[in-house]
Amino acid sequence: MCIGIPMQIVEVYEDGISGVIEAGGTKKHCFFMLIDNPKVGDYVLVHAGNAISKLDEQEAKENLELIEQCLLGAKGAVE
């Protein structure tokens, strides 16, 4: 099974097929060939350096929160 990470587009290069994405203060290069009309501010689901789908802001934030809970432990979890 693979996991996709929600990230926000912060820059689209002139070629329109790649740019920079960001989540949690981390910026990465990304290809946009699998999505239509990428724009700065869009949230995308990223796997292996490729944006594979667009997400709305609420869905992206919910997914990021769930990933954080998995990595850091949910509130009230055994300490």
Range list of H helices, the chain: 57-72
Range list of H helices, 4-50: none
Predicted TM-score (pTM) of this structure = 0.84
User: pLDDT band for position 72 (50/70/90)?
Assistant: confident
- Give me the chain's average pLDDT, please: 91
The pLDDT score that the predictor gives to residue 78 is 53
Neighbours of 19 (CB within 10 A): 20
Which residues, 6+ apart, have CB-to-CB distance to 50 below 8 Å? 30, 31, 33, 34
Query: Assign residue 66 a region: left if phi > 0, alpha if psi is -120 to 50, beta otherwise?
Result: alpha
The pLDDT score that the predictor gives to residue 56 is 95
How far, in Å, CA of 67 to CA of 16, rounded? 29
User: Which domains are delineated in the chain?
Assistant: 5-72 (2.30.30.140)
